[in-house]
Amino acid sequence: MFETFSSKMLGVCRQYLKNLDLAEEVMLSAFLKVFLHLNDFKGEGSFEGWIRRIMIHECISYLRAEKKIDFYGEEKIENAVEHAVTSENTLEVEEIQELIDSLPEGYKTVFVLYVVEGYKHKEISELLSISENTSKSQLSKARKMLQDRIKKQNLFHYESK
Amino acid sequence: MRANNFEDKIREKLKSREIRPSENAWEKLERQLDAQSPKKSTGKIYYFIVSAAAVLVLAFLLLKPDLPEETNQIVIENPKGKEEKEIPEIPEETDFVVMEREEKTEVFEDKTRNTDDQPVVVLPKKQEKVKENFLEKDPEIDDVLTEKARDLASQIQDLDTHSEDELVREVEELLKNAQREIFAGKIQSGRVDAAMLLQEVEWELDRTLQEKVFDFLGENFEKVRTALSAKMN
């Protein structure tokens, strides 16, 4: 089971955690819970989906414990994308991850949960203990920030030619 | 629309992404699983101990009504202290007298008090000791009895009787006469207290003399011995 799902689940954890070693550590912690609670899987939905949810919950628990998620007030916007991002249509996964990593933790978490995992704002609000409006505003800000970054990179790329 | 395309692209790329964990990732997880296992087994052991304790407590509560009886038995079985308090020590004095003529009922009683109100104390060894002490007390009495018994045996062997009953009567008469002679001699010599003779020594001497006589006579006079013993009892 570990052999089958570990690579995919490490990709999931990496969405939320910038550091790959840290992502792996959290993934292992989540797998420990998977093994200890195998009997709790009731067969509702796919087994992979069940493991994936455990991974996401573990990542968010870690971020909360480390107090890295702040949905209120201005967060420091990291000076992220150093590599050239030519076009959103030609974005490679590493580039996408870099863009996402450049977002503040609150923006990033809501964006990944909504866009990648397909969670609704209600589910996100319950999972992160925030209001639905906060979830919506965080997503909106995340989108705008990403678009601006891509535009800037494209302009830089275009001008550099 | 454009945003949706962009996000679809992100979703597609990230969902299909796989990152191979480090080589020792599984070993790390295995260690964590091993560390968790003892906790589980400890929990099972704890659960087992608690269950066993509950069973024992339940068993104790069910058997509890029988405990008081057992406790009483234990108290009764402990003779020390209680006997010393309840049964006073009897001094070896003449206040206590052998009352029975049979060996099986060995009762001592204080004759100086009202016998109805006094507790009866059973001391078999004590009674036996008194008898032995009396016979051993004066070896001269024993010698006189032996001497007299030998004479009586000789006289009895010389008796010319027609029936067993007549023989028994003759032997009984000879024994009584011999006994009177012995008592008379001892009283005169002051060796035997008169009260003692009347109450207990008489029977003792009578019995001892008879036994000695028939020891000399042997098995031929066993019927006469039985007949006389029956009359005495």
**B59 found inside a domain:** yes
Q: Which of B79-83, B97-101, B128-132, B153-157 holds the top average pLDDT? A: B153-157
| pTM, full prediction | 0.47
CB–CB contact A11 B29 (8 Å): no
User: Is a pLDDT exceeding 70 seen at residue B76?
Assistant: no
CB–CB contact B19 A11 (8 Å): yes
Determine contact: A149 vs chain B, CB below 8 A: no
- Overall average pLDDT of the B155-174 stretch: 80
Contacts 24+ apart (CB under 8 A), A75-83: A75/A104, A75/A105, A75/A106, A75/A107, A76/A104, A77/A102, A77/A103, A77/A104, A77/A145, A78/A102, A78/A103, A78/A104, A80/A149, A81/A149, A81/A153
- Overall average pLDDT of the A48-59 stretch: 93
User: Cα–Cα distance between A39 and A37 in angstroms, integer?
Assistant: 5
Q: Where does residue A129 fall: left (phi above 0), alpha (psi -120 to 50 degrees), or beta otherwise?
A: left
Residues 6+ apart with CB under 8 A from B156: B167, B170, B171, B174, B213, B217, B221
- For residue B51, give its domain range: 28-78
Task: Give the pLDDT of residue B229.
Answer: 76
**B121 found inside a domain:** no
CB–CB contact B14 A36 (8 Å): no
Task: Give the pLDDT of residue A138.
Answer: 93
Which range, of A22-36, A107-121, A126-140, B24-38, averages the lowest pLDDT?
B24-38
Q: Which of A36, A88, A116 sits opposite B14 (nearest CB)?
A: A116
Is A32 in contact with B29 (CB distance < 8 Å)? yes
**B32 found inside a domain:** yes
User: What value does the CA radius of gyration of chain A take, rounded to a whole number of Å?
Assistant: 17
**B150 found inside a domain:** yes
Contact list, B17 vs chain A (CB under 8 Å): 8, 11, 14, 93
3 state SS for A79-143: CCCCCCCCCHHHCCHHHHHHHHHHCCHHHHHHHHHHHHCCCCHHHHHHHHCCCHHHHHHHHHHHH
**pLDDT tens digits, A105-138:** 899 999 999 999 999 999 999 999 999 999 999 9
Distance from CA of A141 to the nearest CA of B (A): 13
Averaged pLDDT of chain B: 67
SS3 B168: helix
Q: Which of B9, B43, B78 marks a domain boundary?
A: B78
**B84 found inside a domain:** no
**B6 found inside a domain:** no
SS3 B121: strand
User: Is a pLDDT exceeding 50 seen at residue B128?
Assistant: no
Give A60's pLDDT tier (boundaries 50, 70, 90): very high
Q: Which fold has domain A75-161?
A: Arc Repressor Mutant, subunit A (1.10.10)
Residue A145's CB: how many other CB atoms inside 10 A?
A: 19
**B118 found inside a domain:** no
User: Cα–Cα distance between A151 and A144 in angstroms, integer?
Assistant: 11
**B64 found inside a domain:** yes
Q: Which of B17, B20, B36 sits opposite A93 (nearest CB)?
A: B17
Q: Which of B52, B78, B104 marks a domain boundary?
A: B78
Is A156 in contact with A138 (CB distance < 8 Å)? no
Q: Total structural domains in chain B? A: 2
CB–CB contact A28 B28 (8 Å): yes
Domain ranges of chain A: 1-68, 75-161
If asked whether residues B146 and B228 sit together in one domain, one would say yes
HSE toward the beta carbon, residue A2, CA cutoff 13 A = 21
CB–CB contact B18 A11 (8 Å): yes
If asked whether residues B147 and B225 sit together in one domain, one would say yes
Q: Which CATH class is domain A1-68?
A: mainly alpha
Residue B151's CB: how many other CB atoms inside 10 A?
A: 14
Complex prediction ipTM = 0.78
